[in-house]
A and B are shown apart, each in its own frame.
Chain A
Amino acid sequence: MNDGRAPVANPPTLLEVRGLRTWMQVPGGRVRAVDGASLEVRRGETLALLGESGSGKSVTAASILRLLPEAARIVSGEVLLDGRDLLALPEREMREVRGLRIGMVFQEPMLSLDPVMRVGAQIDEALRRRHREPAARRRLRAIELLRSVGLPQPERRIDDYPFQFSGGMRQRAMLAIALAGEPDLLVADEPTTALDVTTQAQVLDLLMAAVRERGMGMLLITHDLGVVARCAQRVAVMYAGEIVETAPVDRFLEGPRHPYARRLMEALPRPGSRHRPLAVIPGSVPVFTTEPGGCRFASRCDQAIPGCSIEAPPVRVTGPGHEVRCLRDGATAGAEPDSQAPASTDRPTPADAAAGMDTVGLDASPVQPGEVDPSWPGSLPQSPTTRVDDRPLLEVRGLRVRFPVRGGAMRRVRGWIEAVDGVDLGIARGRTLALVGESGCGKTTAGKALLRLVDASGGELRLDGVDLRSLGRAALRPFRARAQIVFQDPYASLDPRMRIEETLDEGMRSLRPAWDARQRSMRIDRLLEEVGLPADARRRFPHQFSGGQRQRVAIARALSVEPELLVCDEPTSALDVSVQAQVLNLLRELQRRRGLACLFITHNLAVVETMADEVAVMYRGRIVEQGSAGRVLAAPAHPYTRALLAAVPRIEVPRDPGTVAAAAVPDLPDPVADREGCDYRPRCPLASARCARERPRAQPVGPGHVAACHERWGDPGPGR
């Protein structure tokens, strides 16, 4: 258990934040973004500040560094670094603190490096402040730093510009800059949120190593419980500007005491969650402009007692280093989180479900009230519309999509990027196929090509036996109604100038001309009800909704034309965990009720476990492994799948150093490079001479399970 992450006995406190209040001026008043937060970071340890968006964790970090936006003001509190109050320092001295005492790593590696400065020069800026020595010596130091953050060939890459780096490499460079000042404290604000899961694992390992080796303290801001479990010794959970629970990570993972923290944990998709709805927290993080009378979580808490909304709960110590801000701690602590029935899911009641079924073009699949709960196992097609029919609804053979690379004076085509390179897929009615891969692997392009939003350059695309690729724009229209898409970004997927009802009406008007205005209007009401939005939502504009609500609208829009196939392109990757749970529950429920076939595109393997019947793993435009979800996840045959699985930060797997080593794969290589042999070869621990010569073909490795790899794995699940 003790893998070097356990806290040293009584290490000295490095950073102490006491009663910090930072308020933001907005048109309606002053929002209490941070309202009395207290935390401490000790030398050599990592404190994770966990919270959803809007909880105030980033503002806390900005307050510590005194890098607040203009509208924000620190109203009261103390930020003590080695006992010195940073809030009292003049700006001149504060500049010395930033970089030299406190290093920073931000979320967006694209934005935190200066695009017109060489990486080496940016590191040198930080080095120069620490070391008065000749430039040549500093350059050596910079190279050494880059090497220490795991950048290959640092002697060569030091003179590159940021645009020549991939996202993971940029984040490494950012870390090198932060370490160049040899700070005592590292503040990392969602350092891996923008990265792929394999890269995330590496960057987290680097951060942990840096903290361990240099005896620094780290304040790690994150929304991801997996990251917390992987890296931190202690965790502070933030909610609506307050710290609601502080605990050592091990204790916390065994059983968080605060109802909010517990709910957050239950909302996480994981292997066991496949056969029952995920727990959700109704509503979203509230915004306070005045002192709330009672507990900030009371309005969303399923265990609130009358006292909760009257009196602000005190901080109570419930164990060594474990503090909770809740009135009811003793009463609920005994309940085992897993055995506890999820008291509030956003699932409509059975009556609602039945009511949504009868008229106007809704597919006739009346669900008897009694059927709902027993039939929950979301994997099995329950709907009567699902003919027991092995022929897939959608069949894809050898799909190829390529984009031209242009250059030269007349913008001639110089070469092609094979974004999707011979993909075979099949989805039956009522089933879910998850398409998994890192960013840039072509999974989104493949999904769009299925709907002919991107034109394929080769292959077959059959929906119910009809080749869609041969159809023109007009002939395609009838098929448009049968396949629809839900996009990733709920902020870009709704037209900001259109009311919700106009958005929902648009598709029906275009693709279901038989429905008149009255029928469409009735359907809009029913759709809104089905996705769990209030009826008055139809008159509103997208900006009046939260991200999760917008995604519900996007789902309603896709369902408005009664599709049989739904392509979900990372529908929850932009959402908070609790909201993600709401949307995943909704999708499963709708799929079960309507017998939809679903292509679920995602990079999140935890979500795959919850949603999919089958899994196809994609790497550089090709499918490297495909099979039933159970088999692929339990016994991955391709080394890439194994690396992906190992890199997923988990909260229940005991953290063993072996997974870390397995995850250490290099970044995704250049997509236009030569493509002889196996694409995965440069990253593969098993690569042999044969892999360089010959591209592996998909071969069966089990019932309905194929993998494209020359190597064979002896036992079904080594390393897992």
Chain B
Amino acid sequence: MRRGLLMPAFALALPGLPLAAATWAWHQGLALPVLLWTDALVWLLVIAVLAGFWLGRRSEPLREGWRRVLADAPAMASAVVLAVFVLIGLADSVHVRLALPAAGAASSGWSVEVTSALDLVLDDLRERRERTYSAPLATHAFQRETVVGADGRSVREFPRLRHGGAHLADPETEHRADILRRGLSGLLAGLLLAVLVGVVMVALVARARAMPWRRAARAILRSDTAPDGRPAPHWLALGVTLCAIALLAGLCTALSSHYHVLGTSKVGQSVLYLSLKSVRTSLVIGTLTTLVLLPFAVVLGIMAGYFRGWVDDLIQYVYTVVESIPSVLLIAAGVLLIQVYMESNPGAFATAAQRADFRLLMLCVILGVANWTTLARLLRGEALRLRELEFVQAAHAFGLSHGRIIARHLLPNTVHVVLIASVMGFSGLVLAEAVLSYVGVGVDPSMISFGTMINDARLEMAREPMVWWSLAATFAFMLALVLAANLFADAVRDAFDPRGGARAGQGGGA
């Protein structure tokens, strides 16, 4: 019984932590919570996903499917990577306005700047700005500047950075050793964390399978299947990925206290900070868009396939028309419309963050409206197939209403299609955001996203020597996110698609 509660408690605790912290801060009068539109939807989605798992926990086909997903090493590794991204995104989805440092005891007002829980955690990174570009781990600025020396003469030189390596007396000699020392200590801390993770994992496995620790550790290393022959989670992949992330996190944390690990941007912001902030934008676009398109796709697609006749003709006509409009055009028009609306109603938005957020939400809606057709097509085909199956005919013979047949028989049997399409669509949407922001019809320019980062970096590509770190960081982060999403989606498809390998075991003989 206790084991059964462990997972849900864990699942609730992780995203719940930033929420609890925000509530606490509000009680203390330190901050005023701000609920942005996308925040509300993101948390709604979290609740929906948790509820979905809760409701589906007894459905054997679903459990079997997820078991197969987690037994796959790449899928497990990418699930861990995705989970880290999701945690970053969720921490960035709790927004507050901090109390202004007031003269009196009771705060006089709230800052106009909306900060997130992630901002507060990364306060150091956010605050320590340089004047402009600096290379990763640099101690001196990237450009020569005219500096007026103590003796009154002006010299063209690379000035020392305000924060990067500022503690070094003589960067020439100490720089390398200092980085090495800090890097090693960071790696060591990461290693300690990784060992801790490993021990906890072995303990969990040992308890779950009721075996001594030593044997549990061996089972993990050999990535054995569970004793009952069912696919077991790939603990080894989980452990290795967690260790890699712990090492990376340790390294970055140790170095970033005195350096800019990924350099700084044009206005001197830490690129690491920008990259971490971009994660939320990507996740919001990738998930909320799916949320927007699902009702259209599911309702219309299944209706078209189930009812056929004129309903089918009408729905097919609609989505054929929608599909034949170039989606960039549709999106550009939609974004322009939003912009006009926002400019004519400036009073509707208290802060710049709320403006940017509204635009992000609308972008999701527009992307959703432009993208529902593919899934609708898939679902129509599936419904066409299902409606001819004998269990649906049996339901007709029982006099069930159309609504009940759709709800009881068609919807549950198309869940795998929706699941696969959503997960596969995620990475496409993340990339679409980058492209749209680059073209200029994406998110608000003030909003930090991979698209705006690329757009900014593009201007510096021609510079000699090149400012490469902005683009490189974007590339690395997006690659990690999209690759993980794609690997995960592949595993989900393999596990849930009945036409895939899942059925292979049932054939045979004859």
**Contact of A107 with B510 in the complex, beta carbons under 8 Å:** yes
- A residues in contact with B391, CB < 8 Å: 492-495, 503
Q: How far does the alpha carbon of A24 sit from the alpha carbon of B229 in the complex, in Å?
A: 15
* CB proximity of A544 to chain B, nearest CB, Å: 8
- A residues in contact with B408, CB < 8 Å: 495, 498, 506
- A residues in contact with B399, CB < 8 Å: 473, 476-477, 480, 510-511
In the complex, the chain B residue whose C-beta lies closest to that of A474 is B399
**Contact of B394 with A557 in the complex, beta carbons under 8 Å:** yes
* CB proximity of B71 to chain A, nearest CB, Å: 9
Question: Contacting B504 at CB < 8 Å: which of A71, A554, A561?
Answer: A71
In the complex, the chain B residue whose C-beta lies closest to that of A451 is B397
- Asked whether A28 and B390 contact (CB < 8 A) given A480-B398, A497-B59, the answer is no
**Contact of A58 with B397 in the complex, beta carbons under 8 Å:** no
B129 at the interface (CB under 8 A from A): no
A635 at the interface (CB under 8 A from B): no
- Asked whether A496 and B61 contact (CB < 8 A) given A56-B509, A477-B399, the answer is yes
Q: Which B residues between 394 and 430 are near A, CB-CB below 8 angstroms?
A: 394-400, 404, 408-409, 412-413, 415
**Contact of A487 with B504 in the complex, beta carbons under 8 Å:** no
* CB proximity of A598 to chain B, nearest CB, Å: 15
Q: Which A residues between 471 and 522 are near B, CB-CB below 8 angstroms?
A: 473, 476-477, 480, 483-485, 487-489, 492-498, 503, 506-507, 510-511
* CB proximity of A684 to chain B, nearest CB, Å: 34
Question: Contacting B394 at CB < 8 Å: which of A27, A71, A485, A496?
Answer: A485
- A residues in contact with B504, CB < 8 Å: 69, 71
Q: Which B residues between 374 and 403 are near A, CB-CB below 8 angstroms?
A: 389-391, 393-400
A385 at the interface (CB under 8 A from B): no
- Asked whether A26 and B413 contact (CB < 8 A) given A506-B400, A541-B60, the answer is no
Q: How far does the alpha carbon of A681 sit from the alpha carbon of B399 in the complex, in Å?
A: 42
- B residues in contact with A473, CB < 8 Å: 399
B231 at the interface (CB under 8 A from A): yes
* CB proximity of B136 to chain A, nearest CB, Å: 47
A386 at the interface (CB under 8 A from B): no
- Asked whether A28 and B389 contact (CB < 8 A) given A477-B399, A496-B61, the answer is no
Question: Contacting B398 at CB < 8 Å: which of A24, A53, A510, A541?
Answer: A510
**Contact of A485 with B395 in the complex, beta carbons under 8 Å:** no
**Contact of A453 with B509 in the complex, beta carbons under 8 Å:** no
Q: Which A residues between 667 and 707 are near B, CB-CB below 8 angstroms?
A: none
**Contact of A453 with B396 in the complex, beta carbons under 8 Å:** yes
* CB proximity of B87 to chain A, nearest CB, Å: 32
**Contact of A497 with B397 in the complex, beta carbons under 8 Å:** no
Q: Digit string of B482-510 for contact with A (CB within 8 Å is 1, else 0)?
A: 00000000000000000000001110111
In the complex, the chain A residue whose C-beta lies closest to that of B411 is A497
Question: Contacting B508 at CB < 8 Å: which of A24, A476, A541?
Answer: A24
In the complex, the chain B residue whose C-beta lies closest to that of A221 is B510
In the complex, the chain A residue whose C-beta lies closest to that of B509 is A54
A176 at the interface (CB under 8 A from B): no
**Contact of B398 with A27 in the complex, beta carbons under 8 Å:** no
Question: Contacting A497 at CB < 8 Å: which of B229, B395, B412, B506?
Answer: B412
Q: Which A residues between 545 and 588 are near B, CB-CB below 8 angstroms?
A: 554, 557-558, 561
In the complex, the chain B residue whose C-beta lies closest to that of A28 is B229
Q: How far does the alpha carbon of A56 sit from the alpha carbon of B509 in the complex, in Å?
A: 5
Q: How far does the alpha carbon of A492 sit from the alpha carbon of B388 in the complex, in Å?
A: 10
Q: Interface extent on B, as a size class?
A: 20 to 34
**Contact of B509 with A53 in the complex, beta carbons under 8 Å:** yes
- Asked whether A561 and B393 contact (CB < 8 A) given A54-B509, A55-B509, A56-B509, the answer is no
B225 at the interface (CB under 8 A from A): yes
**Contact of B61 with A453 in the complex, beta carbons under 8 Å:** no
- B residues in contact with A24, CB < 8 Å: 508
- B residues in contact with A613, CB < 8 Å: none
**Contact of B395 with A506 in the complex, beta carbons under 8 Å:** yes
In the complex, the chain B residue whose C-beta lies closest to that of A510 is B398
A300 at the interface (CB under 8 A from B): no
Q: Which A residues between 205 and 263 are near B, CB-CB below 8 angstroms?
A: none
**Contact of B509 with A484 in the complex, beta carbons under 8 Å:** no
A29 at the interface (CB under 8 A from B): yes
**Contact of A493 with B394 in the complex, beta carbons under 8 Å:** yes
- B residues in contact with A56, CB < 8 Å: 509
Q: How far does the alpha carbon of A54 sit from the alpha carbon of B415 in the complex, in Å?
A: 31
**Contact of A487 with B510 in the complex, beta carbons under 8 Å:** no
- B residues in contact with A53, CB < 8 Å: 509-510
Q: How far does the alpha carbon of A476 sit from the alpha carbon of B415 in the complex, in Å?
A: 32
**Contact of A54 with B393 in the complex, beta carbons under 8 Å:** no
**Contact of B509 with A492 in the complex, beta carbons under 8 Å:** no
- Asked whether A511 and B398 contact (CB < 8 A) given A27-B225, A27-B231, A54-B509, the answer is yes
**Contact of A58 with B413 in the complex, beta carbons under 8 Å:** no
Q: How far does the alpha carbon of A554 sit from the alpha carbon of B413 in the complex, in Å?
A: 19
Q: Which A residues between 92 and 108 are near B, CB-CB below 8 angstroms?
A: 107
Q: Digit string of A47-64 for contact with B (CB within 8 Å is 1, else 0)?
A: 000000111111100000
**Contact of B390 with A561 in the complex, beta carbons under 8 Å:** no
* CB proximity of A331 to chain B, nearest CB, Å: 31
A66 at the interface (CB under 8 A from B): no
**Contact of A27 with B393 in the complex, beta carbons under 8 Å:** no
* CB proximity of A100 to chain B, nearest CB, Å: 26
Interface centre among A484, A495, A503 (most CB of B within 10 A): A495
A190 at the interface (CB under 8 A from B): yes
- A residues in contact with B415, CB < 8 Å: 497
Interface centre among B61, B231, B398, B504 (most CB of A within 10 A): B398
In the complex, the chain A residue whose C-beta lies closest to that of B503 is A543
A33 at the interface (CB under 8 A from B): yes
- B residues in contact with A497, CB < 8 Å: 59, 61, 412-413, 415
A469 at the interface (CB under 8 A from B): no
- Asked whether A541 and B61 contact (CB < 8 A) given A33-B508, A453-B396, A506-B398, the answer is yes
In the complex, the chain B residue whose C-beta lies closest to that of A223 is B510
**Contact of A496 with B413 in the complex, beta carbons under 8 Å:** yes
**Contact of A495 with B413 in the complex, beta carbons under 8 Å:** yes
* CB proximity of B315 to chain A, nearest CB, Å: 16
- B residues in contact with A496, CB < 8 Å: 61, 413
Question: Contacting B400 at CB < 8 Å: which of A29, A485, A510, A543?
Answer: A510
- B residues in contact with A480, CB < 8 Å: 397-399
**Contact of B509 with A58 in the complex, beta carbons under 8 Å:** yes
Q: How far does the alpha carbon of A507 sit from the alpha carbon of B404 in the complex, in Å?
A: 12
A462 at the interface (CB under 8 A from B): no
A18 at the interface (CB under 8 A from B): no
* CB proximity of A230 to chain B, nearest CB, Å: 20
**Contact of A561 with B398 in the complex, beta carbons under 8 Å:** yes
- B residues in contact with A485, CB < 8 Å: 393-394, 397
Q: How far does the alpha carbon of A510 sit from the alpha carbon of B400 in the complex, in Å?
A: 6
Q: How far does the alpha carbon of A125 sit from the alpha carbon of B506 in the complex, in Å?
A: 33
* CB proximity of B419 to chain A, nearest CB, Å: 13
In the complex, the chain A residue whose C-beta lies closest to that of B415 is A497
27 A-B interface contacts by CB (under 8 A): A24-B508, A27-B505, A53-B510, A54-B508, A57-B509, A59-B509, A69-B504, A107-B510, A451-B397, A453-B397, A477-B399, A480-B397, A489-B390, A492-B390, A492-B391, A493-B390, A493-B394, A495-B409, A495-B413, A496-B61, A497-B413, A503-B391, A506-B395, A507-B394, A511-B398, A511-B399, A543-B61
* Shortest beta-carbon contacts, A-B, top 3: A493-B390, A54-B509, A487-B390
Can you name 14 extra interface pairs (CB under 8 A) apart from A27-B229, A476-B399, A541-B61? A55-B509, A69-B504, A285-B509, A473-B399, A488-B390, A492-B389, A493-B389, A493-B391, A497-B413, A506-B408, A507-B397, A511-B398, A554-B394, A558-B394
